[in-house]
A and B are shown apart, each in its own frame.
Chain A
Amino acid sequence: MAKSIVQEFTKGLWAEVPPFRLVLGLCPTLAVTKSLENGVGMGVAVTFVLVCSNVLISLLRNAIPKKVRIACYIIVIATFVTVVELVMQAYAYPLFLQLGIFIPLIVVNCILLGRAEAFAAKNKVIASLADGLGMGIGFTLALAALSVFREILGNGTLTFPFIGYSIHNVLGPSFQPFVFLVQAPGAFVCLGLMLCIMNMLGKK
């Protein structure tokens, strides 16, 4: 039993890391990875919602009627998203402004509904917690990887989240930022290349 919980946790980190393997939740992946700070902020918000909604849905799994289950899941998820929105507005206002409409849009992030339907509705609370945490951390790491790449090459800086420490001119003072990467087309191309790298590493 203990082993399987570890497995539920670790599968989200590599084997089924959401944006790359399952190709779910692409919109925030593309939109907020302009800087490491935004990427990690978004990842933490999604992780929180994912863990809470997974646990609650797993607790309620025998009480929710099958026919209206999707609506019930959405209400649970929307409640936690509202919590995140208000907490961020109070304690992380600059990040709240940066992420903008992508915070309320966590509601329609397919990862959340996908995990609720595919996992939490069928499994026990502890396993659902592990699944949510693993998927959330996997999502955060994926966002962080993409945003480090885009921030260093596209802007020339690197800002560490939470401690507010930032390095200017990571690649030396004469480096010309590759602005293409922090704009919309760069987001698509970067994610495409990232998927390509994952495929090369994954398939032996």
Chain B
Amino acid sequence: MSDFLLLVISCIFVNNILLAQYLGNCPFLGVSKRMETAIGMAMAVVFVLVMAGAITWVVNTFALKALSLEYLSTLAFILVIASLVQFVEMFLKKSIPALYAGLGIFLPLITTNCAVMGVCLINIKEEYNFLQALTASFAYAVGFGLALVLFAGIRERILLARVPRPLQDTAIGLVGAGMMSLAFFAFKGMA
């Protein structure tokens, strides 16, 4: 049990997917201008990442490894993720319209969110078993959401500040992200 707790803490804080592993930075900068969109994106990522982590693990173990086709993993994973996102979108539209309205526009964007693909690849590389892969996927996704929502808060404050012209918008956002990453660095001491 304590192993899983350690895994969760390490994935959320110590190896935060955005700030320590540099994955998923395009949506991080793209949708963090407003709190609402940031929360929508964070929820969509948690939802898709857990499912993608589970499915790619199964595909890798029972299809690719069994047939020793591991070199095709890039191709297989991206197809799994792309079709998963499409299915989730159709399913939500039909059966849970309220959730679809909330996540709607963020779902297609997730296909090219490298955090999703990255976590799937990390799960395989670290040779996690199924339960560990599921836990890690969930924890990474929560870490992504946490960083995104905190960052959106910072950016809403930056809007009110007087920023020199060349630094405006993305540039100051990146410097802010750097400071946040520095703060998350403190968690390294915990591991």
Contact = CB atoms under 8 A, between A and B. Distances in A.
A6 B88 CA distance: 43
A71 B84 CA distance: 12
Contacts of B125: 100-101
Contacts of B111: 70, 74, 108
Nearest to A108: B114
A30 B114 CA distance: 13
Interface stretch (B4-12, B39-47, B67-75, B133-141): B67-75
A interface majority secondary structure: helix
B31 interface: no
Interface stretch (B57-65, B92-100, B172-180): B172-180
Interface residues of A, number: 42
A78 interface: yes
Contact of B166 (A78, A184, A203): A203
Interface in A46-75: 70-71, 74-75
Interface string B94-125: 00000000000000000111101110011001
A27 B23 contact: yes
B22 A30 contact: yes
Interface of B: 19-26, 29, 71-75, 77-79, 82, 111-114, 116-118, 121-122, 125, 165-168, 170-175, 177-179, 181-182, 185
Given A27-B25, A78-B75, A189-B178, 8 more contacts: A23-B26, A24-B26, A70-B82, A78-B74, A108-B78, A184-B19, A188-B174, A199-B166
